[in-house]
Amino acid sequence: MQLRTIPAAEYARSVLPLSATLWAGRRNLRTYVAQTLEIALGTYGKRYYRTLGLYDGGELVASCKRYERSIRVGARRLRAFGIGAVFTPEPSRGRGYASAMLAMVLDAGRSDGFDAAYLFSDIRPQFYEELGFRRQPSRSIGLRADMLAHGRIEIARLEERDWEGVQRCFSLLDRTRPWSFARTPLAWDWIRMRRRHGSEHVRGAEASFVVRERGGVRAYVLGMRVPERDTYAVDEFGFADDKGATALPLLLRGAAGDLRRISGWLPPDGARALLPRGTVRDRRTAIFMIAPLTSDGKRWCALSERPSHADGVWATDHI
């Protein structure tokens, strides 16, 4: 058996038509293929994204995606890679190919000097635990929109010109956290591309908003309006200063509009305190898991596992 990179065009031709029922969501096959190729052929993709395959006698028997990201732990930077879209064609299932592939991916990462691997498990976390991944806090929060403060505030749809301000807000809030996925310019390009794709949500419409002051962004929220669930789904929010923090609950309520509920992943430190208590539950999907590969990776994993009223990952970092 051999693990090797699958060229983007070959992956689109050989894997995506088979995996579409699992990973395409609400996208048709043509859109699913086009958006996957856009990621692979973009600036971030060419440097930090790979599609990998396990071949047995020349036959592709398992595949996955690999995304490189930096992890900021205090003032240090760790090298990590995320694993997504683990897939085994139906005729090859039940033979241990996916386990063998992931073991080889982890071994290669360790040899290449990576500190950790991570993933978001939608099914059978126990499968990944057997390979050395450890579950991390993965919770969601739900609350009534009328639990948030209300008042007069001017909000606006997020526009292209606002992204620089959004990044500034994120950086200021990020400094208050013990660790995070580092947001390099290329990582931001990847996040913006995926938001344009709308691939992270099965239903709903993009609805992201900002509070501007003197031409700059004071607070922002990235999310989706899901009328059929009477919910505004929050993916991320941030603010620039104390006035932005005060405006944030008003912004969230304005983003929800006539929808009665607000939901999302439990926010990280520095952001969690801005939301009311709400209803907090363990997620059944997108369970965050880490496989430490070095002593620094083990320290990151231990830090992430510490009991906390907040989680460590924004939904925008999901792969």
Provide the number of structural domains found in the chain.
2
Averaged pLDDT for residues 99-117: 98
Give pLDDT tens digits for 245-302. 999 999 999 999 999 999 999 999 999 999 999 999 999 999 999 999 999 999 999 9
CATH of the domain at 276: 3.40.630.30
Is residue 172 located within the same domain as residue 198?
yes
Considering the chain, what is the average pLDDT of its residues? 95
Averaged pLDDT for residues 114-125: 95
Give residue 193's domain range: 140-282
Is residue 108 located within the same domain as residue 161?
no
User: What pLDDT shows up at residue 202?
Assistant: 86
**Pairwise CA distance, residues 301 & 291, whole Å:** 8
Is residue 159 located within the same domain as residue 249?
yes
